[in-house]
Structure 1
Amino acid sequence: MSDVVAQAVTGLNEKLDGGGIDGTALFNIEGEGSVIVDDAGARAGDGDADVTFNADADTFREIFDGSLNPTTAFMSGRMTIDGDMGLAMKLAATLA
C-alpha cells in the first residue's frame, strides 16, 4: 500500500469518526491506488461501489486535511464523481 493510500485511509476514518457510511464509495487516487469506504469504515482496496471519486493525490490530500472543499474540487474539475450523487453529497458534507 502506498503512503498516499495509507494517509487517505487514516484521514477518511478520522473524518468518519470511527463509523461508516450507508452505501459504498470508492476513492481512486491516480497513480497510487484506491480506498473503499462502507459501513465498516475506510480501508485500502478496490471493488464495486455506489459512487466513485477520481482525483490526483494532491487533491485528495487537500480534501482530507480540510484545505479544499469537496464540492469546490468537483465544481472546478479537480475531482470527478461517477454514480450515486446523493451519496456523494452526503460524503462531501462529512469530509468538509
Structure 2
Amino acid sequence: MSKVIDEAVIALNEKMGGAGFDGTAKFVIEDEGAIMIDGDGARAGDEEADVTLTASTETFKAILDGEQNPTAAFMTGQLTVDGDMGKAMALSGVLG
C-alpha cells in the first residue's frame, strides 16, 4: 500500500470522527490506489461501490485539507464521479 493511501485513510477517519457513511464509496487516487468508505469508516481497498470518485493526489489532498471544495473540483473536471450522485453529495457532507 502506498504511503499516500495510508495517510489518507488515517486523515479520513479523523475527519469523519466516527460518523458512518450510508452506502459505499470508493475514492481512487490516481497512481496511488483506492480507499473504501462505508459505515465502518475509511480503509484501503478496491471493491465495488455505490459511487466512485477519482482525482489526482494533489486534488484529493486539497479536498481533504479543506482547500478545495469537492463540488468545485467536480465542476472543473479535477474530480470525476461515477455512480450514485446522491451518495457523492452525502459523502461531501460527511467530509465537509
TM-score normalized with structure 1 length: 0.95
Structure 1: gaps of 5 or more residues: none
3-state DSSP of counterpart to 1:18: coil
Q: Which letter maps to 1:26?
A: K
Please state if 1:71 is matched with 2:71: yes
Equivalences for residues 4-19 of structure 1 within 5 A: 4-19=4-19
Give me the whole-angstrom Cα distance separating, in 2, the residues matched to 1:13 and 1:2.
17
Is this contact kept in 2: 1:12–1:64, CA < 8 A?
Answer: yes
Does residue 1:51 correspond to 2:24, yes or no? no
Assess, with a 3 A threshold, how the Cα gap between structure 1 residues 37 and 28 changes in structure 2: closer, same or farther: same
Gaps of 5+ in 2: none
Which piece of structure 1 moves more, 7-16 or 80-89? 7-16
Contact 1:11 1:65 in 2 (8 A): no
The share of aligned pairs that are identical, in percent, is 56
- Residues 59 and 78, structure 1, Cα contact 8 Å, conserved in 2: yes
Counterpart residue identity of residue 58, structure 1: E
Q: Provide the C-alpha distance between the structure 2 equivalents of 1:11 and 1:71, rounded to a whole number of angstroms.
A: 20
Task: State the Cα distance separating 1:10 from its structure 2 match.
Answer: 1.4
How far residue 19 of structure 1 moved from its aligned partner, in angstroms, is 2.6
Structure 2 CA distance for aligned equivalents of residues 49 and 55 of structure 1: 16
Q: Is the 8 A contact 2:19 2:94 kept in 1?
A: no
Which residue number corresponds to residue 39 of structure 1? 39
**Letter paired with 2:32:** E
The farther-off stretch of 45-54 and 15-24 is 15-24
Please list every run of at least 4 consecutive aligned residues from structure 1 whose deviation after the TM superposition is greater than 3 angstroms.
none
